[in-house]
A = this chain, B = another copy of it.
Amino acid sequence: MTEQSRVLKKIALFGVGLIGGSFALGLKKAGVQAQIAGVGRSQASLDVALQAGIIDVIAASVQDACRDADLILIAAPVAQTFDILASILPYLEAHTVVTDAGSTKADVVSAARQALGDKICQFVPAHPIAGREQNGPQAALADLYAGKKLVITALPENSAQSVGLVEQAWRYCGAVIHHLQPAEHDAVFAAVSHLPHMLAYALVDDVANKAHAERLFQYAASGFRDFTRIAGSSPEMWRDITLANRSALLQELDSYTQTLERLRGHLLQADGAAIEAMYANAQRARHNWINSIETAEKQKVEGGD
């Protein structure tokens, strides 16, 4: 491969919803002149994306989308990764770099290896740490990724140039690039994202299934609202993520259940000191975390890194 800080002339988006649409808008806002071609299962979404200036053209076919593409972004639920890559393979040109935006990485890498075979070197797995509760191209924002992390889980087969191209594209969107191994990525996000989603879904499900659910919801207030906000997310998308990250999630869930069992024991024994110690440890850790975020944001505003 000979490209160096290659100019992006054509980008193909498989999925023009919130994630793919915001990527396109971010590039356009940064002045990237590439033609953006959209592919998707929903003609209505493609029409909205075209009208909104997210994509420049609706590709007539997968072949049409892949022709001359410098970069292909797959921005669809992770369970669709294999099928999409398999459909791309016959038309994948040697210079094209393919990346994704999936919330899990080990399963995506496995699907990509199966689908692409020895062209796996052209696939650079990635995950932007950003989102909204709304979905679809109408929810896309040019600033969705500004200041947010983009985690690349590069493969041994990837060339530095391929990885560099993906980094470059996301930097145009304002993202801050991080690198993790796929398994490391999945373990981290099992703990800080996927498990909280499971816990929130389980709480609302538990409350909703009680005989007096209506009365309970009547008195639920802002604490409940924020705690369960993530239970408003797409069930299909989160079913896929839960299954895809099963082993890491089971491990995190069991660790959490043990902590909860410990707290239950303190409560059973009315051990106020132990309860307060656990609450105080959590409050302190969260306080330090929020402070570190705010410090990082302040540095960003001041032009640091």
Contact = CB atoms under 8 A, between A and B. Distances in A.
Interface of A: 129-131, 148-149, 151, 178, 188-189, 191-193, 195-210, 213, 215-217, 219-236, 238-240, 242-243, 246, 249-250, 253, 255-257, 259-260, 263-264, 267-268, 270, 272, 275-276, 278-290, 292
8 contacts: A148-B221, A197-B223, A198-B260, A200-B282, A202-B256, A202-B282, A208-B282, A239-B272
Given A221-B192, A224-B193, A213 B283 contact: no
B275 A149 contact: no
Contacts of A188: 215-216, 219
A267 B119 CA distance: 32
Nearest to A280: B235
Contacts of A130: 221
B196 A227 contact: yes
B246 A283 contact: no
Contacts of A287: 232
Q: Name which of A191, A268, A290 has the most chain B CB atoms within 10 A of its CB.
A: A191
Given A193-B224, A197-B223, A275 B206 contact: no
Given A235-B279, A287-B232, A219 B189 contact: yes
A243 B272 CA distance: 7
A217 B249 contact: no
Contacts of A227: 196, 199-200, 226-227, 229-230
